[in-house]
A and B are shown apart, each in its own frame.
Chain A
Amino acid sequence: MGRASRFLGKSAVERVNAVNLRKPLILTVVASALVGSLAISSISASAASDPGVSSSEIVLGMQLPQTGAASPGYNKVDDAARAYFDYVNSKGGVNGRSIKLVVKDDTYKAGLTISTASKLINEDKIFAFFGSIGTQTHVSIIKDINRRKIPDIFVNSGYSGFYTDPKKYPTTFGGLGTYTVEAKILGKYLKEKYADKKIGILYQSDDFGRNALAGFTAAGLKFEAKKTSASFVAGTQGSIGLASQLSQLKANGVDIVIIAAVSSATAVAYATASAIAYKPTKWAVISVGADATTFQTILGSKGVPAATSAAMLAGTISASHAPAPGDATDEYVTAFKKINDDFNKGADKRWDNNVMQGMNIAYLATSALMGVGKDLTRAKLIAYLENNGSKLSSAAFAPLGYSKSTHEAFTGFWLGEYDATTLLAPIDGKRVVYTTDSGSGAVTISDYKRPAIAADALPKVA
């Protein structure tokens, strides 16, 4: 079993994670859906005036690091999403339209994010951006995308600044719970569980780290600069290292080390701690920084055997909004895994958090496109997500938080601990989902009941 957390969004390495579908709440079932096909190709869809949508096709565009240092793990998300769309297309598409996913490799360099966005818009004529990965990269184009009124859906970044002010970015919708929500939930747990321990934090000094820090602070954790709080410049962990930061935490007697950073930094931090004989009682890592695939890939590139990196990760506390990919009992995992086996044409289709996240946001995108109906326009898709997004189900154990006042995605996480096989298992053996928001809302136990996935693994949305 793997773990289920989510992506991340910042700096050089980000992560994907789990998912989970649920049954539509108030969605009327379309007749065609009842017979197993969401859309019949013979149905003539109405002509639309927006780019990227015709009577037979919907074109979506995704940007992500397919190559380069930041690519491990993330470079599986697009193939997974495409696999799900291909599956949908094999069933007739959405209202007679097949979904085409055009992907651009930005190598996690914002300059290329800008140029490839232009290509997606002007050459590929996309209808919407979908599932783009990376905070630092996406921040470079989000203003322009919104200016152009192009839907920017299921963004794989947990940075709350993209979502909590829809007046600022009206077309952008998250594909991950925010770092703040996750940090609030994780922070509350740590504060209560380890009340007698000194808790410190290592975070990257950017939007991601600041966002998470705000969440931990909101949870009541207090950090002292230069003592129990250590920061670094994202992107320098590989070259400069994190020795001074870890030594500082060690010198100040920090028992519980929180990491709010990308997986490459997590890997460096663990290796550095080992080198300086620093053995915190517990590591707690924001999910994007604890993705097992990325963590092990990065350490593997430095010659660390998989068994060793798995052992390093074992015992780490993290969070997830979706089931662990290795959870064979989960119906969404089972359904998506089957589709992945049958439709994924990627170079690396091994089932993991990244694949699951790609599948899940593709499932959600399909749901939204179905929900808008035949008369598909950009404005209607945005309105639909704002008005109905919170009712869409997925593999996640928490609903999307979409409304007119926020476009943040999954509002709940469950907490787990990595075992020796890199599976994130629920703490104390029972999965408890906590929910909150990116603001001042309290952390409470969620009463959300995830709807079941349909037998054909297609959304049932009218």
Chain B
Amino acid sequence: MKSKKLKVSISAVAVASLISGLVLVGTASAATETCKVGAVAGNTVSTNAKFTVQNVETCDGKLANGAAYRTLKPSNFGGTMFFYVHGFRPSFPYPGYTPPTGVEEVSPYSANTKSDITAQMLRAGYGIATWDRVSANGMHGWNVDDSVSMLKELVQKTNTKYTDINKTVVYGSSGGGPVIQKFGESNPTLVNSMGTFAGLTAVGNSLQSACDLFYVLSVFADPTIKGCAAFGVSKGVPGHMAGLAELGKAGALLTAWSKNLGSPELLHPAPLVGSGIPQRSALLLAGLLVGLPTKSAHMDGISTSAVVPEQSINATIAVLENTLEALATGTLAGQAIGELTGPGFYDNTKTDYSALLSEEDSGRFNLGLSGDDAIAAMLSVLKAAPRIKGDPAAVAKLAVQDKVTYKTPVPAILLSNEADRLVFVGNTVLYTDRVTAVYKAKLAQFEAQLAAGTVKMKRPTLGAVALYALTPETYTTFTSTGLPDLTGPKAVSGIDHQSFTQEQMFTWVRLLAMSAKSGQTPSAGTLARYTANTPYLNTDPDFRPAELKHSDW
């Protein structure tokens, strides 16, 4: 089975994951703020946004540290200002990649459709603000704390400038998640609601899985892969290049497998040579152990053909399609975080990989995994394989990296794709679980006070709700020979990172505005109404997607 269409260019994917979603709109050139009133054009992707918003005041300026910011205020401004925090950006130049500078994404942006919802938001009367959290003043890498400070300055500055702002929303994407969560906890009086889309909430847990992916591939395919053990050893460009070298090894491996869909038998390690276990089974196992989605942009995990005869083979190709981007993230973010923790932040000496394979996955994907005997053999090899011993100090630093308490009174709404291959949907599950636990504890306290007749607190409300963008039921298409068509249109919803429909993003924004006004998360009825009217948003109130494989909570 060969699929030339699955050939993956390591550099292309890496760069794509780096710069996906960048919309350069210009930078302020003056030290002081400059404003102008003019038109803002809608994007050409959405039929709902093919319009121009007139009389928008656009102001450009710089924060105290020199970082550029931009605000956009429509003439019909209703009092709600949205402050956007974009995702992680590597700030060192790589071959083929130039770090972005200045203000880029100004509103929720979909990487797949390459469109934002700036025009829709302005037309609805929402104000917009954002800033350059990457390139100013020599900042590099994983700068959550710096970003929180800059965001605070921008919020205060903007609220001082526009006295008609009565509600403030802080929202953003991906690696902006920790910034938003920390800001909400440290500055609850400055924000009325907050939200993330495709948002990272559990930094250490997510990175552990990315590192596991490198590790498992090193055991089953390429022992020269050091993976996360190579991250953080050097800083700056040399460190990032070392990380990219690791990514390159994995990329070469996956590219080779993509040409034959991993059909050949395993060539590593010795105990499995001659076992008849195909490489694709090891790849699928790796994906399942780290929680990679078994749906991808083109593979629905269900559809079959002459070449893809069973659902779990479809899922295996989905894992193949998803893996490189997950590894790219592990590399780029891992190196950046490694510069904060120091090398050796990854330690898998205590990881029980057998426990990471769920009963559901073992049964559902049994054929793709080549049956119970093969599963047992692969897990046995993993159990016996030498582990990576980390530096306790670095491991401890990662464990507390960007930790939050989940106790902010600011209501939060999270939007995630069920098959996000980069920031796994389990991040959202984990966040809402933790906030729900806080809520339940408060509720119990309140009810105890109520029973005792000594009520000293307001009745608590649930602090966070999640919106999930789902995929269509099936969407894989095949060529005339039965090969999956991996160059055709992607699924319209639920897949890839930071890729949502215009409708999904705008529904999220409207709910955030609503929460800012009410001070609470939307009611179940409101959520049901909005999700029902937004294609592919989950309408099941009890929906629970895949959890993260690692959770220290």
Contacts and interface: CB of A to CB of B under 8 A. Distances in A.
B546 to A, nearest CB: 11
A134 to B, nearest CB: 10
Interface stretch (B7-15, B37-45, B356-364): B356-364
Given A109-B311, A122-B539, A136 B371 contact: no
B301 A111 contact: yes
Contact of A109 (B302, B371, B373): B302
Interface string B361-391: 0011011001111100000000000000000
Given A122-B539, A205-B371, A206-B371, A111 B302 contact: yes
Contact of A147 (B315, B366, B371, B544): B544
A123 to B, nearest CB: 9
A236 B363 contact: no
Interface in B265-313: 300-302, 304, 309-311
Contacts of A204: 371
- Most chain B CB within a 10 A radius of its CB, from A110, A118, A142: A110
B1 to A, nearest CB: 12
Interface stretch (A58-66, A227-235, A272-280, A303-311): A227-235
A143 B545 CA distance: 12
Contact of A233 (B360, B367, B540): B367
Contacts of B364: 110, 136-137, 139-140
- Size bracket, chain A contacts: 20 to 34
Contacts of A118: 540, 543
Interface string A124-147: 000000000001110110111001
Which one of A115, A135, A205 has the highest number of Cβ atoms from chain B below 10 Å of its Cβ?
A205
A143 B359 CA distance: 10
A259 interface: no
B60 to A, nearest CB: 47
A441 to B, nearest CB: 24
A136 B315 CA distance: 15
Contacts of A147: 542, 544
Contacts of A143: 359-360
A143 B364 CA distance: 13
B372 A210 contact: yes
A231 B363 contact: no
Contacts of B370: 233
Given A140-B360, A206-B372, A234 B540 contact: no
B552 interface: no
B478 to A, nearest CB: 15
Contacts of B371: 204-206, 231-234
Contacts of B311: 109-111
A111 B300 contact: yes
A161 interface: yes
Contacts of A136: 363-364, 366
Interface in A280-300: none
A110 B372 CA distance: 17
Interface in A186-211: 204-207, 209-210
Given A118-B540, A235-B310, A139 B359 contact: yes
B363 A206 contact: yes
B310 A148 contact: no
Nearest to A168: B359
A207 B370 CA distance: 13
B366 to A, nearest CB: 5
A121 interface: yes
Nearest to B473: A115
B374 A135 contact: no
Contacts of B304: 109
A28 interface: no
**B300, B309, B363: which has the most chain A beta carbons within 10 Å?**
B363
A161 B360 CA distance: 12
A115 B300 CA distance: 12
Contacts of B539: 122
A115 B473 CA distance: 7
Contact of A112 (B309, B372, B473): B473
Contacts, number: 75
Contact of A209 (B302, B372, B474, B544): B372
Interface string B391-418: 0000000000000000000000000000
A239 interface: yes
A118 B468 CA distance: 14
B372 A205 contact: yes
A234 B302 contact: no
Nearest to A137: B364
A233 B301 contact: no
Nearest to A147: B544
Interface string B309-330: 1110001000000000000000
A362 B311 CA distance: 31
A236 B300 contact: no
Contacts of A207: 363, 366, 372
Contacts of A109: 302, 304, 311
A142 B315 CA distance: 20
B360 A122 contact: no
Interface in B511-553: 539-540, 542-544
B145 to A, nearest CB: 37
B544 A144 contact: yes
A136 to B, nearest CB: 5
B95 to A, nearest CB: 39
Interface in B237-251: none
A205 B373 contact: yes
A399 B546 CA distance: 38
Interface string A92-115: 000000000000000001111001
A378 to B, nearest CB: 14
B473 A206 contact: no
A204 B366 CA distance: 10
Contacts of A144: 544
A122 B367 contact: no
A430 B315 CA distance: 49
Contacts of B544: 144, 147
Contacts of A139: 359-360, 363-364
A143 B371 CA distance: 21
A312 B542 CA distance: 50
A161 to B, nearest CB: 7
A168 to B, nearest CB: 9
A112 B302 contact: yes
Nearest to A150: B542
Contacts of A121: 540, 542
Nearest to B300: A111
A23 to B, nearest CB: 37
A217 to B, nearest CB: 15
Contact of A205 (B310, B374, B540): B374
A254 B393 CA distance: 60
Contacts of A234: 366-367, 371
Nearest to B359: A139
Given A115-B473, A233-B367, 9 more contacts: A111-B315, A118-B543, A135-B363, A136-B366, A143-B360, A205-B372, A206-B363, A232-B371, A234-B371
27 contacts: A109-B304, A111-B473, A112-B302, A118-B543, A121-B540, A121-B542, A122-B540, A136-B366, A139-B359, A139-B360, A139-B363, A140-B363, A142-B360, A143-B359, A147-B542, A205-B371, A205-B373, A206-B366, A206-B371, A209-B372, A210-B372, A233-B367, A233-B370, A234-B366, A234-B371, A236-B367, A239-B309
Across the A-B interface, the 8 shortest Cβ-Cβ residue pairs:
A205-B371, A111-B302, A139-B363, A233-B371, A235-B367, A110-B364, A205-B372, A140-B364
